[in-house]
Amino acid sequence: MPTVYLNGQILPLEEARIPVMDRGFLFGDGVYEVIPVYSRRPFRLREHLARLQSSLDGIRLGNPHTPEEWEDLIGQIVARAESEDQGVYLQVTRGAGPRDHAFPKVVRPTVFILPLILTPPAPEWVERGVAVITAPDNRWLRCDIKATALLPNVLLRQLSVDAGCTETLLLRDGFLAEGSASNVFVVRDGLLLAPPKSNLMLPGVTYDVVLELARAQGIDHALRPISEAELRSAAEVWITSSTKEVLAVTTLDGQPVADGRPGPLFRRMHAAYQDYKHTVMRGKVRNE
Ligand code: PDD
Distance 182 CA to ligand 1 centre (A): 5
pTM of the model: 0.97
Q: Ligand 1, closest atom to CA 183?
A: 16
Residue 55 Cβ inside 6 Å of ligand 1? The answer reads no
**pLDDT band at residue 259 under the 50/70/90 scheme:** very high
Q: Ligand 1, closest atom to CA 201?
A: 2
115 phi-psi bin (left φ>0, alpha ψ -120 to 50, beta other): beta
Distance 243 CA to ligand 1 centre (A): 8
Structural element, H or E, at residue 213: helix 205-217
138-157, pLDDT tens digit by residue?
A: 999 999 999 999 999 999 99
121-139, pLDDT tens digit by residue?
A: 999 999 999 999 999 999 9
Instruction: Domains for the chain: give ranges and CATH numbers.
Output: 3-117 (3.30.470.10), 123-281 (3.20.10.10)
186-244, pLDDT tens digit by residue?
A: 999 999 999 999 999 999 999 999 999 999 999 999 999 999 999 999 999 999 999 99
Distance 35 CA to ligand 1 centre (A): 10
**pLDDT band at residue 13 under the 50/70/90 scheme:** very high
Higher-confidence residue of 278 and 265: namely: 265
pLDDT for the residue 285: 62
Residue 79 to residue 88: CA distance in whole angstroms: 11
